[in-house]
Amino acid sequence: MYEIIYEDVEEKNEYKKIIEKVLSKCFEEEKLKDLKLCITITLTTPKNIKKINKEYRNVDKATDVLSFPMFEKEELEVKIKNQNNKYEDILGDIIISIEKVEEQAKEYEHSFERELSYMLVHGFYHLMGYDHIQEEDKKNMRLKEDKILNDLNIKRD
């Protein structure tokens, strides 16, 4: 279901527990449990995420989370409907700046768990083909993100 890569970040069991809990709920909610889909989660530094952002998006700044989906939304909908993956496939990559998670948790006055969980859910829904460019799309994405976090009882403090 997922692989965690630590790039210039200390490996912590806390990160793994949060990732497991959140992604399990995401896969359950979107009926992906029986599909052989894998997500790569890279936990890294602002310096590394800035480099990736520049290289792949031509944006020369650090951000909190980046997502790189492997499927268009329509392709994924067909996969889910057919539920017949014989082989493992990659859903996509989510790259998260752990330092940004810590900073934003303090800034928004909530827990580290809540901030990391939000970034995971946000990245997951980008992999599922959702975005937040248009207001209507943003609203739909936020509803899905909030449902996951509320179901897991991960609240803003």
pLDDT digit string, tens, across residues 59-68:
999 999 999 9
Return the higher-pLDDT residue of 132 and 101.
101
Q: Please state, in angstroms and as integers, the Cα–Cα distance from residue 70 to each residue in 10, 45, 62, 75, 127, following that order.
A: 28, 23, 22, 10, 7
Percentage of the chain exceeding pLDDT 90: 75
Average pLDDT for the chain: 92
Could you tell me the sign of the dihedral formed by the alpha carbons of 59, 60, 64, 70, in that order? positive
pTM, full prediction: 0.93
Residue 145: pLDDT above 80?
yes
Residue 118: pLDDT above 70?
yes
Confidence grade of residue 157 (pLDDT, cut at 50, 70, 90): low
Q: What is the reported pLDDT for 88? A: 80
CA 16 to CA 4: how far, in whole Å? 8
Q: Please state, in angstroms and as integers, the Cα–Cα distance from residue 18 to each residue in 70, 99, 121, following that order.
A: 23, 16, 11
Residue 89: pLDDT above 90?
no
pLDDT digits (tens, 9 = 90+) for 14-56: 999 999 999 999 999 998 888 888 999 999 999 999 999 999 9
Q: Annotate 60-121 with three-state secondary structure.
A: CCCCCEEEEECCCHHHHHHHHHHCCCCCCEEEEEEEEEHHHHHHHHHHCCCCHHHHHHHHHH
CA 94 to CA 135: how far, in whole Å? 23
Radius of gyration of the chain (CA): 15
Regarding beta strands 65-69 and 37-44, do their DSSP bridges make them parallel or antiparallel, or are they unpaired?
unpaired
Average pLDDT over residues 4-8: 97
